[in-house]
Amino acid sequence: MKNKLLYIITIVMTLFIGVSLTLVVLYYYPLHDKTVSKTISNVNITENNTIKQSIDKAYNAVVVVESTTNRGVGTGTGFYYKKDKKNGYLITNHHVINGATSIKIIDNDGQEYEAKLLGSDEVSDVAVLSVDAENVKQIVEIGDSTKLELGDTLFTIGSPLGSNYKGSVTKGILSGKDRTVEVELFSGNYVMEVLQTDAAINPGNSGGPLLNINGEVIGITSSKLADEKIEGMGFAIRIELAMSEVDRLEKGEEIERPLFGIEAIDVSNTYSLFYNRLSVDKNIKEGIVVARVVDNSAASSAGLEKGDVIYKIDDNKISDMAHFRFVLYKYSIGDEITVKYYRDGKSKEVKVKLTK
C-alpha cells in the first residue's frame, strides 16, 4: 500500500513539473510569428586615387586623326588646344599626316568630319590642323612640363590601333625628364629631347596628349622603343616646344632653322670615312668629320675645311651628326657660336655666325 502511494505521488509530481515547464516555454517562446526589424544603411565607397575628374577635363578634346596617302590610310591621335568663332585648332604629330592627300577626324561620339592641314614641321614632329568650330566639343588645358618630378602620375588619351579603340586611357608615371632619342628624318638622323613614361603607348597613340594629374597637357606622345625585350618605355615631346611653334604653323609659315653649311660623317663611321678618303686620329672617339663645305655658307665664311673634326659647339660636346643637329637647332638665325675642332692634330676654335 505504501509503495502504491509513493508511485502515485511520483507520477503527479512528474506531470506537475512537465506542465510547469511547458507553460514557462510557451510564455517566453510563443508559437506565433515574431516580427524581426532590420536597419539597412547605404554605404558610399570613395576611391581616393581616381583620375576620373582629370580625364573628364580633356577626354572629348581628343580625336582620331585618319590620313589618306598614296600608300594607304593611317591613323593617329590629335587634341584641340584652341577655338575661335570660325575654326577649331588641333595638334598632332608631323609623321601622322606626312604626305596626306586628305585628313579625316573621328571624335569619341563617332562623328566624322574633314580637317585642313595648316602647317607642319618634321624636326619637332608637330603639325597643326583646323576644323569647323561647330565640331569642337572641348579644349584641353596646357600645363608646364618643367614642373614635373620623377614619379609624378601621368596619363594618356588616344586611339591605339585605330578608331576601334578610340578614347583609350592609360596611366603611368614620369620615368625620365631629360631623355634624348634618335629619330630618322628625311634629311638625316636627329636627336629629340623627350619625356619618358611607362604609360602604355601603342601605334595610333602618336599625336595624342600626355597629361598630368590635374588633366593638363604636358607632352605630345610621339614614339616608343619597340623591342621584345623592352616594356613600358614611351616618349613624348615637351608641350613647350610645340606651343612655341603653333602660332607660325597656324599661319602656314615654315619653321626656319639656322644653316651651318657642311656635310659631315660620324667619327665612328669608319667605312664612310674610308670611302670619302678621310682619316681621323685614333685617339679621337667622338665628333663629326667635315666631308664638304657648302660655298658661301656660315662654315665657309668661318674658314672650316674638309677633314676638320668638330667636337664642340660652345659648351656642348658633339658626339655624332644627330647630336650636332640637336645642338645646332637650339640656336636662332643670326646667333654667333664658338666651334671647336681638330685640324692636323691640333685643337682650334672659330666664331661662326649662323645664317638662314
DSSP assignment of 160-200, as one string? TTSGGGTTEEEEEEEEEEEEEEEEEETTEEEEEEEEEE-S-
Out of 54, 67, 94, 95, the active site residue is 95
SS3 150: coil
Out of 125, 266, 308, 320, the active site residue is 125
Closest alpha carbon to 85 in 33, 118, 34, 130: 130
CA dist., res. 74 & res. 207, Å (int) = 13
DSSP assignment of 58-100, as one string? TGGGEEEEEEEETTEEEEEEEEEEEE-SSEEEEEE-HHHHTT-
SS3 326: helix
> Who contacts 19 (Cβ-Cβ below 8 Å, separation ≥6)?
none
> Who contacts 112 (Cβ-Cβ below 8 Å, separation ≥6)?
104, 105, 106
206 is catalytic: yes
Type of residue numbered 41: S
> How many C-beta atoms lie closer than 10 Å to residue 256's C-beta?
10
Residue 256's Cα: distance from chain center in Å? 25
94 is catalytic: no
CA dist., res. 200 & res. 197, Å (int) = 8
Provide the annotated active-site residues: 95, 125, 206
